[in-house]
Structure 1
């Protein structure tokens, strides 16, 4: 009888010790994405993770000639699929010569302090719905280290899309290749 109680106690203690993880919800989601071995390189406008700097510049030049985007150091794309035009300003970060992250600053061009429907809180809601449909994904609010507000994130394979309010009129959107960010 005592031996049975001892085995049961060891079993319960083992479950508690090894079953509970110190990883945050965000770290678990990143690990699930990496473990899936699914490769999702699509960012937007034909930009992809793994694109070389030269490919990025050539693609940007072509879209600039077609007046799809404008700019150089900061590229601007006007997204017209929401209730008002959204200015998306971006320029990728490269790791080992290829795109590993695409930080995007988004704001409604109709924003002003008296136009509440165009503030960052509203834009964040609108972008969440838009990107869920566009990428056929779902977003969840998860605490992420280094970000004061709780962002909306979607992780599919190696691609993380992270969105959060940056200021009264701006939403930060980060497209991150987590295979580069968390495996190196």
Structure 2
């Protein structure tokens, strides 16, 4: 009886220890990708993690002078109209808004994006965020190859974030907040460690 109770306590202790140490799929992917030591610092239009805020502004100014980008809504984003593919039957262009995320030293640690159809309206169901989401996801996978997106539950269990991690680069497609915009964030996990 004593041996049986001791064995039962041992097994219970092992189960508790194993369950306490169990990491989510997302946490496992982050650890595995950090362990690769791969650094992905290139974003697009030659923007990179680690550049200064002034370099970001200068680059935006040059792109604006080349008429590749323009000022976005409320002057809080840079606006870029994605080129249409010859196979694309959509009548509305996709707008990509972007702006750098900077730390206290004015170093770019990430970038915020918003995607939406230029012809969006509340009554046009074909141009709403829910329909655009698969296209944005596929575009991000094409632009940033590597791992696929995984679903990550937010603090509110009904929120699902689509998250992709390759080396130091994390891409998060946020849950839809409205029928127009798809919010995306790309950030450098190396800077996340420094802020904690």
Q: TM-score, normalised by structure 1?
A: 0.83
Cα deviation digits, residues 49-101 of structure 1 (max 9, x gap): 11111221121111111011111542111113464421122211111221112
Q: Is the 8 Å Cα contact of residues 81 and 95 (structure 2) preserved in structure 1? A: yes
Matched with 1:88 is: 96
Identify unmatched segments of 5+ residues in structure 1. Answer: none
Provide the rounded CA distance (Å) in 2 between the counterparts of 1:124 and 1:66. 29
Matched with 1:121 is: 130
Q: Is the 8 Å Cα contact of residues 26 and 150 (structure 2) preserved in structure 1? A: no
Provide the rounded CA distance (Å) in 2 between the counterparts of 1:151 and 1:90. 19
Matched with 1:36 is: 36
Q: Is the 8 Å Cα contact of residues 26 and 144 (structure 1) preserved in structure 2? A: no
Matched with 2:79 is: 76
1:1-184 matches, cutoff 5 A: 10=10, 12-13=11-12, 15-20=14-19, 21=21, 23-71=23-71, 73-81=76-84, 83=90, 84-95=92-103, 96-137=105-146, 138-145=148-155, 149-164=159-174, 165-184=176-195
Identify unmatched segments of 5+ residues in structure 2. Answer: none
Q: TM-score, normalised by structure 2?
A: 0.79
Provide the rounded CA distance (Å) in 2 between the counterparts of 1:58 and 1:109. 26
Q: What SS does the aligned partner of 2:43 have?
A: strand
Point out the structure with the larger strand share. 1
RMSD over equivalenced CA pairs, Å: 2.8
1:156: how far off? 0.5
Provide the rounded CA distance (Å) in 2 between the counterparts of 1:168 and 1:66. 32
Q: What SS does the aligned partner of 1:117 have?
A: helix
Provide the rounded CA distance (Å) in 2 between the counterparts of 1:155 and 1:92. 19
